[in-house]
Amino acid sequence: MRISAAASAPAALPLTGPAAPASSRPAPRIPAYVPQASAKSSGEFNLGLGILGALLGAGTGAALLFVIAVALGFRIPFIGLITGLLAGYGARWLYKGTDHALGVITAVITFVFLGGTLYLLFGIFAIGSIISLLVSVSVAYRIAST
């Protein structure tokens, strides 16, 4: 069976269709999507207020820890957790939400306040103080960030 090149070539089809009529209007431009920056209202998140809430909560918790420890004459295990709870909820309440950066800042504030209070009360860091400090800091972070 022999196929010739002339027989196998299809007839040439026109590559372009009929010419489009000329238009006096230019082609419409599709604008690129540009998100509009909305102005923040007073009810939206405010990191400064969140930090203030963390400072107030940690200060209140540290003062409460100090008063209880001095009044009772000994330390109740994990009472430093109150500092972490108050700092985390204070930051979350005044920030009006949660944020990772707020959680980190709240954890650092809690570490400084509670660490200073424990050092002021006991002078050295016992293993119980370190565990209480770590638990309190992690609680403050989790509440303020999630």
What DSSP line would sit under 63-122, residue for residue?
A: HHHHHHHHHHSSPPTTTTHHHHHHHHHHHHHHHTS--HHHHHHHHHHHHHHHHHHHHHHH
48-53: Cβ within 8 A, 24+ apart: 49/94, 49/95, 49/96, 50/91, 50/92, 50/94, 50/95, 50/99, 50/102, 50/105, 50/106, 50/144, 51/91, 51/102, 51/105, 51/106, 51/109, 52/94, 53/90, 53/91, 53/92, 53/93, 53/94, 53/95
Q: Which residues contact 107 (CB under 8 A, 6 or more apart)?
A: 137, 138, 140, 141, 144
User: pLDDT exceeding 90 applies to what percent of the chain?
Assistant: 44
Closest CA to 108 of 80, 78, 136: 136
* Rounded distance between C-alpha atoms, residue 47 and residue 144, angstroms: 11
Which has the higher per-residue pLDDT, 29 or 34? 29
Domain parsing of the chain, residue ranges: 47-145
DSSP 8-state assignment for residue 41: P
Poorest-confidence range of 1-10, 17-26, 43-52, 99-108? 1-10
pLDDT in tens, 97-144: 999 999 999 999 999 999 998 888 887 777 778 888 999 999 999 999
